[in-house]
Structure 1
């Protein structure tokens, strides 16, 4: 019975290790794709005819540019934590030339700078061109914290829910993280910026622990194999001793 259990455990650990190896290759491919997108020249943001095909695998973090007018009176604040501490992403609708809308994450503000009058500069007026990273909508909320549109409390950038709250239609199924302007100074947490919101704080990071997980599962498989070999060896020794003992007792 123990041999069957050991065989099942060995095969299970090997299968888990192999699965993690496949995940490792997938993750490295994802990182390579995203890195290429981030540094590629900006392309026009997908229009209404392309919205149905937007997905995380093919479009997330693609550098895009879009043209339109900001609806500065319709800002939405989404809780966030950045290198500048806790605060909010400022999501502002941008009305495009065709009448559709795209939410633009114009950057980060601290709690003391939610009021536009405290930000050190006027919000963009008239027609603007925005360049940034395309991000796929984040429905529902954050871990253990659900969005509450009725109370205007947001923990994730849920495009459709925010659009429904603001009465915006049609709206793209993505938002754009606006990038910092060329030549902008690096963020220094010890020296708060003079102008808010602060764009360009998107953190692109993918956890990559699959190799260590694969090694762990393979080591467990080897431990099961080694333990089984040890038990079998002891069992064979005991059988040989019993056989020798019985042979010695024969007349």
Structure 2
């Protein structure tokens, strides 16, 4: 199998090995991990609907970041809105339409400041905002879903239509833009709560195609190895003269020993015809 030492075969072997390695040790495991994450998100959404609200302090310590295990849990918070720290999260898509979410700090009775997602307002084709209702004054008790921070955005905060706006629902980012520091995470209000505008709906359950994608990568890796074996075997047979003539190149007039028909001696009939029509 000296042909395997040829530069072309060495390159092909390295490419197939690298692709198979990526399929089995990088791409498929990553998709399996994504599948587990999505299953966890779906389970959290199911719990959010089925579990009654509890005071936020029972799930999240004051000033601490909420853990993944409490994401989407229904919580209640009592306190006073601080509209001077209000910030909008822009460039959101809700039910297929462009929108901005309204984030307003709320100071609880224990002195902690919690960020509250009061819902969303739709923007027009040019991104202009409608009037945003102010939150109610005085002490209120609100219920909503405990959400995790989305992470700091790559773009800085802006001021548009007279509103401070950021690109991520992140408590630290919103707090820096609004000038009021809040605890990590935020509470997304349920419909009918004090101060809610239009409640952000729960996302639909993720269909989670990642599991099938993972198996597809495993199959692709196996196909690459199988193709390499097939072509290596084909080359080996050709190198040792074991490869028969392709069927599409065979001709019924070929001799039984494989001699091509036009290499055989002409028959007497063929010679007479050639003489008659001047072909010889």
1:66-98 CA distance string (max 9 Å, x none): 111222444322223323833321222211111
**2:113 maps to 1:101:** yes
**2:123 maps to 1:113:** no
Following TM superposition, the consecutive aligned residue runs of length 4 or more in structure 1 with deviations greater than 6 angstroms are none
CA–CA separation in structure 2 for the residues paired with 1:81 and 1:46:
31
Preserved CA contact (<8 Å) 1:78 1:91: yes
Q: Structure 1 residues 65 and 225, CA, compared in 2 at 3 Å: closer, same or farther?
A: same
Preserved CA contact (<8 Å) 1:102 1:175: yes
Preserved CA contact (<8 Å) 1:20 1:210: yes
Give the Å deviation of 1:29. Answer: 3.2
Query: What is the 5 A alignment of 1:153-164?
Result: 153-164=165-176
Provide structure 1 residue ranges, at least 5 long, that are not aligned to the other structure. 117-121, 183-194, 243-251
**2:156 maps to 1:146:** yes
More off after superposition, 89-98 vs 12-21: 12-21
| TM-score normalised by length of structure 1 | 0.71
Preserved CA contact (<8 Å) 1:43 1:64: yes
1:169-220 CA distance string (max 9 Å, x none): 5x211111101139xxxxxxxxxxxx97211434356473313422331232
CA–CA separation in structure 1 for the residues paired with 2:135 and 2:17:
66
In structure 2, what is the equivalent of residue 40 of structure 1? 51
CA–CA separation in structure 1 for the residues paired with 2:36 and 2:151:
28
- Residue 11 (structure 1) aligned to one of 21, 35, 58: 21
User: SS where residue 137 of structure 1 aligns?
Assistant: coil
**2:37 maps to 1:20:** no
In structure 1, what is the equivalent of residue 214 of structure 2? 214
Query: What is the 5 A alignment of 1:81-92?
Result: 81-83=93-95, 85-92=97-104
Preserved CA contact (<8 Å) 2:116 2:186: yes
1:79-121 CA distance string (max 9 Å, x none): 23323833321222211111221111111123553243xxxxx
Preserved CA contact (<8 Å) 1:149 1:161: no
User: SS where residue 191 of structure 2 aligns?
Assistant: coil
Preserved CA contact (<8 Å) 2:94 2:200: no
Provide structure 2 residue ranges, at least 5 long, that are not aligned to the other structure. 1-9, 124-128, 243-280
Preserved CA contact (<8 Å) 1:177 1:202: no
How many residues are paired up?
221
CA RMSD of aligned residues (A): 3.3
CA–CA separation in structure 2 for the residues paired with 1:196 and 1:49:
25
Higher relative contact order (CA 8 A, sep 6+): 1
Preserved CA contact (<8 Å) 1:90 1:108: yes
More off after superposition, 148-157 vs 226-235: 148-157
| TM-score normalised by length of structure 2 | 0.65
